[in-house]
Structure 1
């Protein structure tokens, strides 16, 4: 059923007005099936049944619209502000760079990822890039971080500012090398007159910008600092396939995840380790939602009764398995300069249905057809015993 409903032709205009630009859902599912060893599942199920347990397999294929913006769509939905982002690049005389971004980091690793983008583009050391965020006294503007928009929107604004830096730096290099600006090539931190061995390093250009003794003052201001705003023309559409294998004890209702496999398409990936960490965090959140977490209110007063971690079940390491996580080769986004798609919420989107589907698969022979989250031992046990009652 999933394969028959996969979209295979892109771009694809959805009935709700959004257009999926790229995707390859078949590849992520095939890889997830392989990593999860689905072919060996029947043997594992039989072994589980010999021990009095029930083993189930659950699938989830998701697609997400993230990288929040464009502003015109947000406005049509009632937003009172533009959802663009800003990036400001300040190149210092020494060749080091300070980046000011409105995308706020609270653990995602922007300080690394944004620095990688800048260092790679300018051909400088990662240690030479400083990322400034979250300081409203220093950044020109910012809409923050949400909806997996940081690299797709904030990173793209930085790239647009880098385009301006490179364009001005080429004009300075052309003056120093006595060539036309259109003949200047820039790669790996070196400005070169095309077809020659005449070059200038990035640090030479940054110094000349601030010590303009030999400088085209008639056409360029001194200094090397640029800003850019980026308002995307579309969302990004990450997608993935998740497979959960879970063992249920019918006597107690206790469920234990035996293995969890997640294969995602995030387009181009800048830092695989950071992306994997994002998925791990999302999986922990989604599995917690599926099996543990619930807000409880007093029926009469509406008072929240689970307002602290003394009463609210937050997942612990012992509640989670070792995850098998892989990022597919990916289908790059076609409308942002990095070709990236968001990854922050992926794990939390794909995991709850995979978990519940696995539990229902395990309990199907016992007559259980529905189970509301969270799948606590009491709820699972109750569902099993309710299915045994004559209707």
Structure 2
């Protein structure tokens, strides 16, 4: 893995995409430390004394996500742009409504988007309302997929906030009898540089809607802006995953003993949400590697695993506690938040880490490959085939 790491960025790939940032070695080194790789040999020997086989598997991934430039999508045959829209509506009270075309289905947009706005405007988190999924209220949107919500949808919101701040500075400058070029905005306060004269964000918001003292010759009343953001590149999150597996050679049962994930998602807005995304992804990925399979009838192609009575999914008892950490990170250089996607990371890195660990455990028996899903029956069959006389 280390031999294949890219070290010089930006890196132009042979297929036309350019990785803007990355630093892969620290993720792998930290994953090895957290997984206690140095102590693995002793754990493997102890398992062998109990008649079990232990294996250690690695997976280092890089993903292209945050879909992405409309011109590239068009060249590939897409008949739609891949931009996103954000609208910020500031109310006379200083509270804010955010309209976004990026619809949440459990990723916590209502929290993360509100954090971005509250932090930028210096207002309380509960003063921000996030509206999504209503085509009668949201200007436009391409939705949530490909880990694009924050990097594309969040960037559109940031661009709308740029416009809000620019107009609000003009209002503040009028109130403070100064040039808008001399207005600074920080922690919810507009101030004249080098002086103690200031106005709060709430005061400026009220003035925008009660324009008794207002630069009407230059500005329309109100404080409402929208922005479209069409990214210039994908984002490229990366990470290193290590899986430790124990196998019962008599039954083929495989158990994940330890699972460690260290990811680089660029700047992190909400660590708890990111950790939850990675946990869910690892659970999905391990389910695919260990249990999940769509089975069809040979004669007519009828789906036989059409319900959860037939289709196996991992339960809590099938998975260990995950050790999940985000690296210091290399911020994305082409979106205003410096963020990279995190939604699919766990599902990308976990299946190969598990299969590599399983094959490592079974290699002393002569097993060098296992097809997914590596069910106990499939593992047992692979062991028996390897042990059968030629």
Query: What band does the TM-score fall into relative to the shorter chain?
Result: over 0.9
> Equivalent residue for 1:13?
12
Q: CA deviation at 1:4?
A: 0.9
Summarize the alignment of residues 33-182 of structure 1 with structure 2, pairs less than 5 Å apart: 33-182=32-181
Give, in whole Å, the separation in 2 of the partners of 1:235 and 1:16.
13
The CA RMSD measured in Å over matched residues stands at 0.4
1:178-219 deviation digits (Å, cap 9, x = unpaired): 000000000000000000000000000000000000000000
Give, in whole Å, the separation in 2 of the partners of 1:268 and 1:257.
30
Q: CA deviation at 1:107?
A: 0.3
Give, in whole Å, the separation in 2 of the partners of 1:78 and 1:60.
32
1:246 aligns with 2:262: no
> Equivalent residue for 2:223?
224
The normalised TM-score by structure 2 is 1.00
Give, in whole Å, the separation in 2 of the partners of 1:279 and 1:370.
27
> Equivalent residue for 1:278?
277
Unaligned runs of at least 5 residues, structure 1? none
Q: CA deviation at 1:390?
A: 2.5
Give, in whole Å, the separation in 2 of the partners of 1:202 and 1:42.
60
Give, in whole Å, the separation in 2 of the partners of 1:70 and 1:162.
22
Q: CA deviation at 1:331?
A: 0.2
Give, in whole Å, the separation in 1 of the partners of 2:369 and 2:350.
17
> Equivalent residue for 1:381?
380
Give, in whole Å, the separation in 2 of the partners of 1:308 and 1:227.
44
Unaligned runs of at least 5 residues, structure 2? none
Give, in whole Å, the separation in 2 of the partners of 1:328 and 1:93.
41
> Equivalent residue for 1:261?
260
> Equivalent residue for 2:286?
287
Give, in whole Å, the separation in 2 of the partners of 1:110 and 1:206.
25
Give, in whole Å, the separation in 1 of the partners of 2:99 and 2:60.
37
> Equivalent residue for 2:306?
307
1:31-83 deviation digits (Å, cap 9, x = unpaired): 00000000000000000000000000000000000000111111111100000
Summarize the alignment of residues 164-203 of structure 1 with structure 2, pairs less than 5 Å apart: 164-203=163-202
Give, in whole Å, the separation in 1 of the partners of 2:306 and 2:157.
40
Q: CA deviation at 1:315?
A: 1.2
1:277-312 deviation digits (Å, cap 9, x = unpaired): 000000000000000000000011000100111110
Q: What is the count of residue pairs matched by the alignment?
A: 390
Give, in whole Å, the separation in 1 of the partners of 2:36 and 2:369.
26
Give, in whole Å, the separation in 1 of the partners of 2:371 and 2:262.
26
Give, in whole Å, the separation in 2 of the partners of 1:30 and 1:291.
27
Give, in whole Å, the separation in 1 of the partners of 2:43 and 2:370.
24
The normalised TM-score by structure 1 is 0.99
Moved over 3 A (4+): none
> Equivalent residue for 2:335?
336
Give, in whole Å, the separation in 1 of the partners of 2:87 and 2:30.
40
Q: CA deviation at 1:131?
A: 0.2
Give, in whole Å, the separation in 1 of the partners of 2:35 and 2:58.
11
1:118-174 deviation digits (Å, cap 9, x = unpaired): 000000000000000001110000100000000000000000000000000000000
Give, in whole Å, the separation in 1 of the partners of 2:310 and 2:134.
35
1:77-124 deviation digits (Å, cap 9, x = unpaired): 110000000000000000000000000001000000000000000000
